[in-house]
Amino acid sequence: MRKNLNIALSFCLMIIVSGLITEKTFAQEKKGTVACIAFYNVENLFDTINSPGINDFEYTPQGSKQWDSKKYWDKIEKMARVIAEIGTELTPDGPAIVGLAEVENKLVLNDLVNDPQIRDRAYRIVHYDSPDRRGVDVALIYQPKYFTYLSSKPYLFIPEGRENFFSRDVLLVSGLFHGEPMHILVNHWPSRRGGERSSRPLRNAAARLNRQIIDSIMLADPSAHILVMGDFNDDPVNESMKKHLRTSWDKNKIKEGELFNPFYDFYRRGIGTLAWRDSWNLFDMIVMNQTLLTEDKSTYTFHRAGVFNKRYLLQSDGRFAGYPFRTHAGDTYLGGYSDHFPVYIYLVRAR
């Protein structure tokens, strides 16, 4: 009980600090065009159908979670509510682009983007089935009003010496963001199952795969914007992020080729995206290359980042009071949203 209280108090502090970090006047924000880009691990967005070759029986009416149509459509409605509200403090359009993790297939994505809360935004879908044994994939949805799709590719993630390891692909989506070349990599790196230390090489390998893709893009077009987003299952200070992905938290001291991680400061202040064993982790991030840090306001520039941690996304009572309000705890249905908070960034330009 005392631990739950501690994490609840920590969450309250997190809200206060988050507000201090991001507070700006509306007049200041409206000086330029504002666009929002987000990432959300939606925690096991499965349909109710038992799919051959996928270990998803628990997410059926007959399975251990008794996952039926009522629960499914409630989940869709809740995910759409969150996406509908992200970023609207500065732009009524909400996120122009949303990277997603833990979606089962394109069917659930179609149901999501057609929810009445976000249908008018006309989100389009980029999705590939991955070899993950649980059947969860990454995906990207985007508003064609902002983003012109050109191409996409799933990069198979097979760590060296682990040919039988099946995980999520790295999804690369390329296009034009209001005419500016942009490449987005969507990730869901291997979990810490079995312990952080023993599983660390897998996330390091995932970071190196991203780095190879990034270096190839930079070589072909040094002026293109690159965003790397995902549930990395590591914090900003872990070696996968700092050493292998090559991220830096200081915009003023960033080295050539490094990526800027605006979420380090949130982590340093105790702000997280998920709770585990009565402490916060910040596994969900959006990092960027240096073209989005330029002072040239004629192109899109990074403005600020945020963790979308509204109070309704918090478990209010019970064993997990103070944690993100999730859909399940084991097989127990809680009826919440997700075990992760979404993250987002704002980009601005003068015209």
CA angle centred on 37, ends 306 and 156, rounded to 5°: 110
- Token pair listed for 130: 């991955």
Instruction: Give the predicted TM-score (pTM) of the model.
Output: 0.92
Integer-rounded Cα Rg, in Å, for the chain is: 19
Give the distance from CA 184 to its chain's centroid.
12
The angle formed by the CA atoms of residues 48, 54 and 55, to the nearest 5 degrees, is 80
Query: So what's the pLDDT on residue 36?
Result: 98
Which residue, among 309, 235, 343, has the nearest Cα to 11 in the 3D structure? Answer: 309
> 94, 84 in Cβ contact below 8 A?
yes
How many CB atoms lie under 10 A from the CB of residue 1?
A: 7
Asked whether residue 69 carries a pLDDT value surpassing 80, the answer given is yes
Domain ranges of the chain: 2-349
φ/ψ (deg, to 5) at 198: -70, -30
- Note the CATH architecture for domain 2-349: 4-Layer Sandwich (3.60)
Percent of the chain with pLDDT over 90: 80
What DSSP state is assigned to residue 314?
B
Q: For 119-167, how does the pLDDT look when each residue is reduced to its tens digit (9 = 90+)?
A: 999 999 999 999 998 899 999 999 999 999 999 999 999 888 787 788 9
What is the per-residue pLDDT across 84-108, written as a single tens digit (0 to 9) for each?
A: 999 999 999 999 999 999 999 999 9
Question: Cα–Cα distance between 294 and 301 in angstroms, integer?
Answer: 6
What confidence score (pLDDT) does residue 14 get?
Answer: 53
80 with 72: CB under 8 angstroms? no
pLDDT (tens digit per residue) in 29-61: 445 799 999 999 999 999 999 988 888 999 999
Which residue matches tokens 């390091």? 204
- Within 10 Å of residue 119's Cβ, how many Cβ atoms? 12
Around Cβ 296, how many Cβ atoms within 10 Å?
A: 10
Q: What digits encode the pLDDT tens for the residues 184-203?
A: 999 999 999 899 999 999 99
Strand stretches in the chain, DSSP E: 33-45, 95-103, 124-127, 137-142, 147-155, 170-177, 180-188, 225-231, 247-248, 259-260, 274-276, 279-281, 284-288, 301-307, 328-329, 332-333, 343-349
